[in-house]
Chain A
Amino acid sequence: MQSTSKRLRIRMRSLEQSSTQESSAHIIASSSDLLSEFLLLRLPIKSLLKFKSVSKRWLSLITDPHFSRRKNHMNPTPAASALFLSRPSPLANPLFTFIPLDPSQTTPPFTSLTFTDHPRGIEILQSCNGLFCCSSIEYNDSYNLKYYIYNPTTKHFTTLPPLSGGVVLGINLAFDPSESHVYKVVCVQSCESSYDHVLIHIYSSETGPWRASGGPFSAPASMDFSGGVFWNGAIHWVSPREASLYFDLREETVREMLMPSLPDGFDERVIRYFGESLGHLHLVEIYEDFTSQLKVYEMERDRSGWFLKFRVDLNGVAVVFPDLIEGYLEENDYYHYSFSILCVVRGEREEDSFLVLHIPGKIIGYNFNSKSYQEILDTDCPLTFDRSYAFQYIESLSLV
């Protein structure tokens, strides 16, 4: 810090000698270093997007990769400020309902994805630390799917190179701006030569084209490779019946992910939420229809197991939001609740962590610590138990 400001001071002195009549404001704006250091880096991203149109120099500064990296360093793991809820519409481009989680989010960056033209539209596959992995929608022609990496804040996108080989089982984005500005995309394809084996290819934003990583490996038949979650340097996939796996991007190895033991009488996992927030990996499983307690588990940093992090009393939620109740079993005094978990959002401070729940007709926020509720939005978006229809939105200038 000292050497930087010394450099700036020297540069400033020479500026001052040459332009004694100019205002301090103009002097600051004339120097890219001073402008970035004093002002641009301290502005919210939305303001920076507006100020792209001030002048060519400001545009160049704000879109500069070095600038976006410095901005990321100032706030390495921002939490989601909103969610996008996908509403498929069979004949048109899917619409996205914007769920603001922060008062600063007053306008959605988009309502549907139109950054490139496709007759049946574009859908989001995954959100990862500010970037989206998207694909075109085709009904009969899954071999011609196009995949994109899209920054919803800057509206810039890149088209991934085409894939050859077996059926694509999943495309997953691995991006951690606090570690590197480079993102990687992990593609899992079925192995053409062996029906129960799969193969991984990796694309890197730095080194380019798809390259095979390791050889074919045997994969559980029930594994959903499209629902991967990136956390702690690896893509994690859960399997309902067999072993869950994770792919470590540093070592490029596939390992088994320890999961909580199944309760007695169950041979299949019922996963209601699996996602990441602010560097924590969360899991919610619900086995009984008439459960009144929602348990949020978090994975240990060293992946040695899971621990109970938050507990939600659904009976308490139902008192405030009776729409949550779908059925009532009088003889046992059990309630059957109808809801979908959209996101477990961690706060910078523990007490700011909350749950985003989709109940019939509403999106609500529930603070784990204070047990207080907030109605976020009324919505007629239908409830679904498909895990991947809510995507985190994190403002970012990261380059694609």
Chain B
Amino acid sequence: MITLRSSDGETFDLDEVVAVELQTIKNMMEDRCAESVIPVPNVEGKILAKVIEYCKKHVKSTAKAEEHALSDADLKAWDSDFIKLDQATLFDLIMAANYLDIKSLLDLLCQTVADMIKGKSPEEIRKIFNIKNDFTPEEEKEIRRENQWAFE
């Protein structure tokens, strides 16, 4: 049993088989520098809870035990439900999945966010990422003109 502690002090108990889904934690365990409670200083409790929920589901799916194994279709459906979250939470999850090195979760989250933003306008993109428009009006006009067909 491994215990993780979030940045805001929440603790989570994990079976080892789940803990190894988080590559960062797995490396710590292998290096034998895992204490009884592993601090995860970059990740808030509510985000860490979500990460662990994903890992628990995905471990069960690769388990040999037939009764817990989910079909690929069921797992995909579960994933689709899992990502129904607000944008801010999705971005926080991306940072957490990257820090904890969970490739399948990171791919799922990044593709979800990419699909959410691909149809947006440049102005909407600036709002989401809090980016300042540093083009002059003439410069922006020229770039838009060159790529006008992509806006239609």
Report B118-152 CB contacts with A as 1/0, cut-off 8 Å.
Answer: 11011001101111111100001001101101111
Which applies to chain A's interface (DSSP): helix, strand, loop or mixed?
helix
B14 is an interface residue with CB less than 8 A from chain A:
no
**Which B residues touch A39, using CB under 8 A?**
110, 113-114, 117
Asked if A55 is at the interface of the complex by the 8 Å CB criterion, the answer is yes
- On whether the beta carbons of B95 and A24 are closer than 8 Å, the reply is yes
The secondary structure that dominates the B interface is: helix
Binds A, one of B30-38, B59-67, B70-78, B85-93: B85-93
User: When the two chains form the complex, which single residue of A28, A42, A107 contacts B129, counting CB atoms closer than 8 Å?
Assistant: A28
B4 contacts chain A at the CB level, 8 A cutoff: no
A12 neighbours in B (Cβ, 8 Å):
42, 95, 98-99
Least CB distance from B47 to A in Å reads 9
Name B42's closest neighbour in chain A (CB-CB): A16
B91's partner among A1, A5, A23 (CB-CB below 8 A) is A23
Task: Say how far A34's CB is from chain B's closest CB, in angstroms.
Answer: 8
Interface residues on B, range: 35 or more
Whole-angstrom distance from the CB of B143 to the nearest CB of chain A?
5
Known: A13-B42, A24-B91. A44 touches B118 (CB 8 A): yes
B-facing residues in A36-60 (Cβ within 8 Å)? 38-39, 42-44, 46-47, 49-56, 58-59
| 17 further A-B pairs in the complex, CB-CB below 8 A; given A43-B117, A107-B149 | A12-B98, A22-B130, A24-B94, A25-B130, A28-B91, A28-B95, A38-B98, A39-B117, A46-B150, A49-B147, A51-B125, A52-B147, A53-B122, A53-B147, A55-B126, A107-B150, A110-B149
Closest 5 CB pairs of A and B: A24-B91, A29-B129, A49-B150, A42-B114, A107-B152
Q: What are 28 inter-chain pairs, A to B, with CB distance below 8 A?
A: A1-B103, A2-B101, A5-B98, A5-B101, A9-B98, A12-B42, A16-B95, A25-B87, A26-B130, A27-B95, A28-B95, A29-B129, A39-B110, A46-B150, A47-B118, A47-B119, A49-B147, A51-B125, A52-B143, A53-B122, A53-B135, A53-B144, A54-B125, A55-B126, A55-B131, A59-B143, A107-B150, A155-B147
